[in-house]
A and B are shown apart, each in its own frame.
Chain A
Amino acid sequence: MKGKCYIQGMAAISPQHTFEGDLLSQPMAVTQGNMLSCVEPDYRAFIAPNSLRRMTRVLKMGLAASLKCLQESGVAVPGAIVTGTGKGSLQDTERFIKEIRDFEERALNPTPFIQSTYNAVNGLIALQQKCTQYNNTFVHRGFSFEHALLDSMLLLSEGKPDVLAGAFDEITTEHFFIKSRIGHWKQETIASDTLYEHVSPGTISGEGAAFFLLTPTATAQSYAQLGGLQMLYKPSPEKLHTALGQFLAQHGVQPEDIDLVLSGANADSNHLHYYDVLNSYALNTQLPFKHLCGDYETAGAFALWLGAAILKQQQVPAQWFPMLKEQPRKLQHILIYNHFFGEQHSFMLLHKVS
């Protein structure tokens, strides 16, 4: 793809203390149980009380993260708003469906219906910022965020001066139960910091919202350059191996140039073997990130936030990675490899801004 893509500003709300922004000083938040929930900020600093009262959780998370991202970037009205979500507002969807049943399809409240639509967060951002530019939400399960990112990169290459790209997903008790019935979560209850000691079927659930202000040129403030993105649907391990080699070569990077790999390995024995591809190349330090955010469709957005933050800080937050033996010698290139329950696989390549 012609043109470049830089992360000019970003913000994340996650099960970690990410909203505060100071990566190195925040302790790791550990959840006792298999359902990780976000550490939510005080939304009143970002959203008017009269609007806040109607919003459900993921709407508040998405809107606050996007507004903080724009604030940090010094951009009020972005050239486009592009997001991805696997499930949209689950709370609103559940409420709307329950009301259909309880009131026999009559006297239905409009708010949960309006807010259950996937593009509700984009609409709120556009309204708040008076942005009438391109506005799109991708809902493609484990590719939702990656498709939003690809669209954003295409928009930049077509000449947009900046794009607000992001992702948001939440977990509810009811949805956790539904997904537990198809084996998404571990049977045994674990603490999130011990995830990798429990290799067994299923993983732990998570949620989060992350937003990025992407621009075609770098400044001294830029976090990182997003050098490459590739998606693969249900690849065989052989195809995955070939694709990774080609992906790195295509972007002029040798496996040994990668200083850090952030992997979506999640101790799910059903799909863990895919991550063996990372061992088949001479890649340096590999760190898993799902103990920090849990698993959900748009966990890749958390990984991108984490990778970009590490590149800017030029340091891995050691308190979040007990498995880290030593800091990488240098931090120039970071590879992110993630997949969603073995189906949607993605590679992202980040470079330090020189």
Chain B
Amino acid sequence: MEELKQKLKVQIIEALNLQDTRPEDIDDNAPLFGDGLGLDSIDSLELMVLLERYYHIKVEDPREGRKILQSVQSMAEFIQSKQPA
């Protein structure tokens, strides 16, 4: 799980071009939107694309997406839940 979260942080920084942010600056549980990283609705679409490209997971329901993209922790848990056992 720790390895997955680290990888996710690097991928988020690269996908969203967060120039002055390092992986260690992102708290696992900090909200990605609003107060945390300050991401917006376009970023949420970019993160959906990230999940599809790197993890082959398509999020169909936008309401589900809101929960999944809450934090790095919630994203990692979601990815793990979709991995074959």
Contact = CB atoms under 8 A, between A and B. Distances in A.
Contacts of B16: 53-54
A26 to B, nearest CB: 29
B60 to A, nearest CB: 14
A222 to B, nearest CB: 39
A50 B19 contact: no
Interface stretch (A17-25, A107-115, A237-245): A107-115
Which of B15, B38, B45 has the largest count of A CB atoms less than 10 A from its CB? Answer: B45
A103 B17 CA distance: 20
A109 B49 contact: yes
A110 B53 contact: no
A50 B42 contact: no
B42 A111 contact: yes
Given A50-B38, A103-B53, A109 B46 contact: yes
Nearest to A51: B40
Q: Per DSSP, are chain A's interface residues mostly helix, strand or loop, or mixed?
A: loop
Given A53-B17, A53-B18, A54-B17, A107 B49 contact: yes
A110 B49 contact: yes
A54 B42 contact: yes
A99 to B, nearest CB: 9
A50 B53 CA distance: 24
27 contacts: A49-B19, A49-B20, A50-B38, A50-B40, A53-B16, A53-B17, A53-B18, A53-B19, A54-B16, A54-B17, A54-B42, A103-B53, A106-B52, A107-B49, A107-B52, A107-B53, A108-B49, A109-B15, A109-B46, A109-B49, A110-B42, A110-B45, A110-B46, A110-B49, A111-B42, A111-B46, A114-B42
Interface of A: 49-50, 53-54, 103, 106-111, 114
Given A49-B19, A53-B18, A110-B46, 11 more contacts: A50-B38, A53-B16, A53-B17, A53-B19, A54-B16, A107-B49, A107-B53, A108-B49, A109-B15, A109-B49, A110-B42
